[in-house]
Amino acid sequence: MLAATRLALTLALAAGGQDAWHEPFPAHRVAGNVYYVGSKDLASYLITTSEGHILINSGFEKTVPLIRASVESLGFKMSDIKILLASHAHSDHVAGHALMKELTGAKVYVMRGDDTVIAQGGKGQYLYTTSRWQPCPVDRVLEDGAEVKLGDVTLTARLTPGHTRGCTTWTWPVQEKGKTYHVVVIGSPNVNPGFRLVDNKDYPEMAKDFAKTFEVLKSLRCDVFLGAHGGYYGMIEKYGRVKKEVGKNPFIDAEGYRSYVAQKEKAFRDALAATRETKVPGQAR
C-alpha cells in the first residue's frame, strides 16, 4: 500500500474510533461476574464480588455518567464500587477517576509508573505534555504481580509498560457454567503516532519495555479476551453475536487473543525497524 493511502486510512480509522469514545453502548455481561459498562469504545469493566464491586477504567469525566447509567441498568449500585483500577494513565481511561472516586468513595489502586501521573492530573506523561485532568488521590501503589482482593475475587496486576510506564494488564479467573475461564484485560500494546522507540530522552527504555510487554502477554493464559478499548477485541461484533449464538459465549476467544498479540508484536517490531531507518512509525491509539 502507498504510504499516503496508508496514512489516510490510519487517520480515518482513528477518527472513527474517537467518535465512538463518547457514544453510549448497552451494558452487558461478558462472562461470570464480569460486565462491560463502558462507552462504545472506551472500555470499563465492573467485576461484582461478595463484598462490593471493582471497576476498571473511568474514561473521561464525560464518560462517567455513561458508566453510571450502565452500572444502574444492570441493577447494581455505584456506591457498591469499592476499588477503582486503570488500564493506563492516559486521559481516555483515567481522566474521570477523581469524579468516579467522589461519586463512589472507591479506593484508587495504580501501578507504579502511572501513579504520579494520575495523582498529578496528567502531569509527567510521556509525549502528551499538555494533556491534563482533575488530579486523583492514589490509595495504593501496585507492583508487578500485585493481587487486588475483594470478597471472593482476586485480580492480578501485570506490568505491561511501553505505552505508558505503568501500563497494566489485568488477569483473573471467572466461573461460568461450572468451568473456570481466565480473563485478560490488555492495558495497551500500541505504539502511538509520535512515540520514539529509539533515542528517546524522555523515555529511554521504551523499546525494552514494549519487548517485555509482549513476553508477558504471550505468557498469560487467556480465555476471555478484553482490553482498554472495545476495538482491541472486536467488542461490538462479539456483542452482536451474543443473542444469535445461543449457548455460546463469543467473548471466550483464546485464539483471538493470541492472534491480536502476535499482530501487535509485529506492528511494534515493524515500527522499531522503521524508526531505525529514521522513518516515522504510525500505529493507532
The answer to whether residue 264 forms part of the interface with Zn ion (CB under 5 A) is no
CA distance 98 to 121: 9
The answer to whether residue 165 forms part of the interface with Zn ion (CB under 5 A) is no
Q: Name which of 29 and 112 has its Cβ closer to Zn ion.
A: 112
Q: Name which of 17 and 250 has its Cβ closer to Zn ion.
A: 17
CA distance 215 to 108: 27
Location of C-alpha cell 491509539: 285
CB of 188 to Zn ion, least distance (A): 5
CB of 250 to Zn ion, least distance (A): 25
Q: Is the dihedral of CA 244, 249, 255, 260 positive or negative?
A: positive
Distances in whole angstroms, Cα of residue 205 to Cα of each of 35, 213, 281: 35, 12, 17
CB of 146 to Zn ion, least distance (A): 21
Nearest alpha-carbon partner for 136 in 52, 35, 71, 64: 64
Say how many residues make up the chain: 285
* Buried-exposed string 102-139: b where 16+ CB fall within 10 A, e elsewhere: ebbebbbbbbbbbbbbbbbbbeebbeeeebebeebebe
Q: Name which of 122 and 250 has its Cβ closer to Zn ion.
A: 122
Q: Name which of 114 and 176 has its Cβ closer to Zn ion.
A: 114
Helices (H) and strands (E) in the chain, counts: 8, 12
CB of 9 to Zn ion, least distance (A): 20
CB of 88 to Zn ion, least distance (A): 6
Q: Name which of 53 and 90 has its Cβ closer to Zn ion.
A: 90
Which of the ranges 21-29, 89-97, 200-208, 239-247 carries the binding residues for Zn ion, by CB under 5 A?
89-97
Cβ-closest position to Zn ion: 90
Q: Name which of 90 and 101 has its Cβ closer to Zn ion.
A: 90
The answer to whether residue 90 forms part of the interface with Zn ion (CB under 5 A) is yes
Residues that bind Zn ion (CB under 5 A): 90
